Amino acid sequence: MRGMFYLGPLIVLLSACSHKPYGRLCSGEVSTLSGQVTGQSQAWVFDEIQRFTVTDKGATVQSGYLHSTNRSLYIPSATTAQGFMAQRLSTDRFRIIDPARDAMVTWTCPVSATPL
């Protein structure tokens, strides 16, 4: 019986600490690698801190595990399964680069409070 008093708060604490990815509808700028703007984009970005997923018009790209040898000097990046480079520029900015097509898309997401 006393164990129930300890088990209840433990379950509440564990569920409160779990991180669930949440999607945000983000506006994006399509450009060449040299920075010339060629269009606009809108996509859902699901942020999972160490990785992110972008869904745009039915196509989904998963960044994979983002890493950096020194986060104060280098942008956390990964190579996707499709061969793109994925970058987390900040908590609200994400980029996918396709060097074969001389293109990149940088999404800026609205700032939102972390869901409970």
pTM of the model: 0.76
Tokens of 72: 């104060």
The pLDDT assigned to 60 comes to 94
Q: One digit per residue, pLDDT tens: the chain, 116 residues? A: 444 444 444 444 444 444 556 799 999 999 999 999 999 999 999 999 899 999 988 899 999 999 988 878 889 999 999 999 999 999 999 999 999 999 999 999 998 655 54
Spell out the domain ranges in the chain: 20-108
Nearest alpha carbon to residue 91 among 58, 53, 48: 48
Nearest alpha carbon to residue 45 among 61, 29, 68: 61
